[in-house]
Amino acid sequence: MKLSNKKQRNYVSSQSRVGAVLIIVLWIAFGLVSVTLYFGQSMFFEYKGANQSIAGAQAEQANNGALRYFFYTLNNALEEEGDFPSDLIMQTEQIQIGQATVWMLGRSGESVTLTDPHFGVIDECAKININTAPFEVLELLPTITPEFAAAIVDWRDEDDDVTENGAEATMYSLQTLPYECKNAPFETVEELRLVYGATVEMLYGEDTNQNGVLDPNENDGMQTPPLDNQDGTLDFGILEHVTIYSKIPVEEEESEATGSGNDSGDQPGNRSSQQEPGGGVGVPFQVNVSTASAIVLACLPGMDEATAQQIVSYRLANPDPTEGLEWVSEAVDGGDVQQALPYLTDKTQQFTIDLAAIGSNGNGYRRVRYVVDTSGEAPVVLHRRDMQRFGWALGPNLLEQVNTPEQAIR
């Protein structure tokens, strides 16, 4: 039977209505699925975010715990006051605190080709004090220019007399954004950035994350910042070798005789410069010869690179704690260290602990640095610095371990 024309038209029109409804339903279903997926995804990220912040909080707490552990070591485990807290008396690597793991980033003092960090405490007394070292010492620091060494002296001295090639108020007033020359001691080493002529390259060198390790980006030329010379060794900047915290250790009898540990007043890092303890008669600063690098030792009066290297090599070959300074003359094998001896000490009272921690499942990386002073009755924190912005500092191998679930640290 054949449908009439009218019936046929009605049939077609009802068919196309059904089709349209079906398309609308499909679109609605598609929309609902998209919304569900979107919420699912955002819940997932929120969950991941919460995980990250929990792990971050764990890592922060672990760093606090490691600082307390360091204080405990200083109070209870040192054989003698002024000893360096070596990794023989304290754990410095992969310390488990709750769900988190902490490392103390140190310096080996021997190698500039390390790709994995050396763990330990950093001795502030192993560095040159920029508040007290004279121009002749400062100008020997690697990467420094004589102009910048002179500008350091002018920045910290209270007068306005320009040291040869240095910079006093006039130079600072000519800057695009003019500022004052401080004419007072440094309060942090980072203050060097304000000194006339400072460059990032001179201050940080290739070690932009300040971990003492040659990280992949620090040995790939200009491929990724920083611009490095790709020579397989880590070329440090000035900041690695300088401090404002070291003080000349005061002999006990002397401290009792003068009635106080320090006598020259209000200059940080310069408080004992007028004293004349044991080995340091009349010198403005001292360096711990048991921990200092060859680079630092070579800056001392009467020293050169070869002699400094002999001292470090001897120290590495005889790792037993060396008492006194007698071994130094033995180390240089007939060489002359008489001029440098007053600048040397075997004691240390100021330390940096550079703590890097991760929380559960390798998440929540946190890094913080503390400078601790033990020259008073009890250890105190002099300075705290958040090192988070310098990025991962535990080297490529630990990073891989953290990122590989089956090898995860926890």
Q: Which of 124, 139, 215, 354 binds Ca ion (CB under 5 A)?
A: 215
Q: Which helix (H) or strand (E) holds 369?
A: strand 366-373
Give the three-class secondary structure for 338.
Answer: coil
CA 76 to chain CA mean position, Å: 26
Q: Which is nearer to Ca ion, 160 or 253 (CB)?
A: 160
Q: Which is nearer to Ca ion, 79 or 180 (CB)?
A: 180
The residue from 93, 110, 157, 276 that contacts Ca ion (CB under 5 A) is: 157
DSSP state letters, 71-132: HHHHHHT-SSTT----TTTS--SSEEETTEEEEEE---SS-S--SS--BS-EEGGGSEETTT
Which residue from 242, 13, 276, 10 is spatially nearest to 132, judged by alpha carbons?
Answer: 242
What does the alpha-carbon distance between residue 329 and residue 334 come to, in Å, rounded to a whole number? 7
Question: Of 279, 281, 261, 286, whose CA–CA distance to 323 is shortest?
Answer: 279
Nearest approach in angstroms of CB 128 to Ca ion is 19
The only residue of 87, 93, 110, 235 in contact with Ca ion, by rule CB under 5 A: 235
Identify which of residues 327 and 390 has a Cβ nearer to Ca ion in the complex: 390
Stretch of residues binding Ca ion (CB under 5 A), selected from 4-12, 156-164, 197-205, 374-382: 156-164
First to last CA, the chain: 80
* Closer Cβ to Ca ion, 25 or 200, answer by number: 200
Q: Is 228 in the site for Ca ion (CB under 5 A)?
A: yes
Q: How far is the CB of 367 from Ca ion (least distance, A)?
A: 12
Calculate the alpha carbon distances from 256 to 34, 103, 251, 253, 261 in Å: 78, 38, 9, 5, 8
- Report CA torsion sign: 390, 396, 398, 402: positive
32 or 227: CB nearest Ca ion: 227
User: Considering the complex, what minimum distance in angstroms separates the CB of residue 23 from Ca ion?
Assistant: 56
Is 213 a binder of Ca ion (CB under 5 A)? yes
**Residues that contact Ca ion, how many (by CB under 5 A):** 15
Interacting span for Ca ion (CB under 5 A) from 43-51, 129-137, 147-155, 325-333: 147-155
107 to 136: interface string for Ca ion, x by CB under 5 A: ------------------------------
Query: Is residue 240 close enough to count as binding Ca ion by CB under 5 A?
Result: no
Q: Closest CB to Ca ion among 120 and 277?
A: 120
Q: State the DSSP code for 308.
A: H
Query: Strand (E) positions, 26-82?
Result: none
Query: Could you say which residues in the range 164-183 bind Ca ion, by CB under 5 A?
Result: 183
The nearest distance, CB 409 to Ca ion, in angstroms, is 20
Report the residue number, 108 or 217, with the smaller CB distance to Ca ion: 217
Among the residue ranges 2-10, 54-62, 232-240, 289-297, the one whose residues contact Ca ion (CB under 5 A): 232-240
CB 132 within 8 A of CB 146: no
Question: Which of 81, 187, 190, 231 is in the footprint of Ca ion by CB under 5 A?
Answer: 231
Contacts 24+ apart (CB under 8 A), 77-83: 81/374, 82/249, 82/346, 82/347, 82/348, 82/349, 83/321, 83/347, 83/348
User: What does the DSSP 8-state code read for residue 193?
Assistant: G
Give min distance, CB of 233 to Ca ion, in A: 5
Give which of 354, 320, 350 is closest to 117, Cα–Cα.
354
Minimum CB separation from Ca ion for residue 402, in Å? 17
Q: Determine the interface stretch with Ca ion among 33-41, 139-147, 213-221, 287-295 (rule: CB under 5 A).
A: 213-221
Q: Which is nearer to Ca ion, 10 or 113 (CB)?
A: 113
Six-digit token pair at 57? Answer: 């909080």
Q: Could you tell me the smallest distance in angstroms from the CB atom of residue 292 to Ca ion?
A: 20
Choose between 118 and 347: whose C-beta lies nearer to Ca ion: 118
C-beta separation of 144 from 202 below 8 A? yes
Query: Contact positions toward Ca ion, by CB under 5 A?
Result: 154, 157, 183, 207, 209, 211, 213, 215, 217, 220, 224, 228-229, 231, 235
